[in-house]
Amino acid sequence: MRATAIFLPMENPDKTEKIVEARLKLKRRFEEQMANSPSLADPRPQGKGPQNRHGMPQVPVGQTVTAKWPVLDLGYHPNIPLDRWRLIVDGEVENPLMLTWDQLLALPQTDDVSDFHCVTTWSKLDMAWRGVRLIDLAVLAQPKDTATHLMCYGYDTYTTNLALEEALKPDVLLAHTVDGQPLPREHGGPLRMITPQLYAWKGSKWIKRIEFLPQNRLGFWEERGYSNTAYPWRNDRYS
């Protein structure tokens, strides 16, 4: 992997303006697709319970609410000391990035409460996350117009793919804190992605690299028969 120079917008006011422009452009490009996506606009979403903040039934079809937080992964929990931790953003972008932990924490931080739906049928509601919105990082890397998807890589060799209209939603976070505590290692700490509007396997624990792609490519579970799209309110588990 190439190690590339990174600039952070707060270090350079000229570039800040460019970033603001890039953010608007990116938002506009996916706005319509996002608004019409199944987890926001399905006319017949499947599930039960009161509505979630997007008007979907709180508990998607086939899911059971759990108070516990099960651990699900490939069985290897990488240990990444913060001084050696790096996050790479590359691929179909104008400005590839490699961030240190301090640089990640210097980016705008977002708090959000969202639900977590695991394809193995448990859902954990109202999880309080803190981290960096993926879109806030994406605008710094400036995805090219040809970018359509992402591949996310974990330090444990996991991969998972996402369409950009899902990945750039405002509730998709690179989270380092949950319920006010540092994200535990077994849940993907120091940093993981969360995708509240898709099944949770789309959020890589121990995230290490985000590669923008000019076309879709399948990740670890997607290659093994899991759905490409993973919409919880459509019972969209397998392909």
CB 225 → ligand MTE: shortest distance, Å? 13
Mark the segment that binds ligand MTE (CB under 6 A) among 17-25, 79-87, 126-134, 202-210: 202-210
Restricting to residues 82-121, name those near ligand MTE by CB under 6 A.
118
Q: Does 122 bind Mo ion (CB under 5 A)?
A: no
Alpha-carbon separation of residue 159 from 40, 150, 219 (angstroms): 25, 10, 5
CB 155 → ligand MTE: shortest distance, Å? 7
Phi and psi at 33, nearest 5°, equal -60, -40
Question: Residue 8 forms beta bridges with which residues?
Answer: none
Select from 10, 71, 82, 113 the one that contacts ligand MTE (CB under 6 A).
71
Q: What is the 3-state secondary structure (H, E, C) of 200-215?
A: HHHCCCCEEEEEEECC
DSSP one-letter code for 77: -
Phi and psi at 216, nearest 5°, equal -70, 150
Question: Residue 130 forms beta bridges with which residues?
Answer: 111, 177
Binding mask 135-174 for ligand MTE (x = CB under 6 A): -------------------x-x-x----------------
Q: Does 237 bind ligand MTE (CB under 6 A)?
A: no
Select from 6, 40, 61, 72 the one that contacts ligand MTE (CB under 6 A).
72
CB 37 → ligand MTE: shortest distance, Å? 20
CB 63 → ligand MTE: shortest distance, Å? 12
Tokens representing residue 27 in the block? 């938002």
Residues 151, 164, 53, 173, Cα dihedral to 10°: 50
In the three-class reduction of DSSP (H, G, I as helix; E, B as strand; rest coil), residue 150 is classed as strand
Q: Does 72 bind Mo ion (CB under 5 A)?
A: yes
Q: Does 232 bind ligand MTE (CB under 6 A)?
A: no
Restricting to residues 157-216, name those near Mo ion by CB under 5 A.
201
Query: Is residue 219 within 8 Å of 152, Cβ to Cβ?
Result: yes
Rounded to whole angstroms, how far apart are CA atoms 236 and 239? 8
**Which of 70, 170 has the CB closer to Mo ion?**
70
Restricting to residues 8-67, name those near ligand MTE by CB under 6 A.
none
| Residue given tokens 């993907």 in the structure block | 188
Mark the segment that binds Mo ion (CB under 5 A) among 20-28, 60-68, 114-122, 202-210: 114-122
CB 120 → Mo ion: shortest distance, Å? 5
Tokens representing residue 84 in the block? 């050696």
Phi and psi at 163, nearest 5°, equal -75, 145
| Interacting residues with ligand MTE (CB under 6 A) | 69-74, 118, 154, 156, 158, 187-188, 200-201, 203-206
| Interacting residues with Mo ion (CB under 5 A) | 72, 118-119, 201
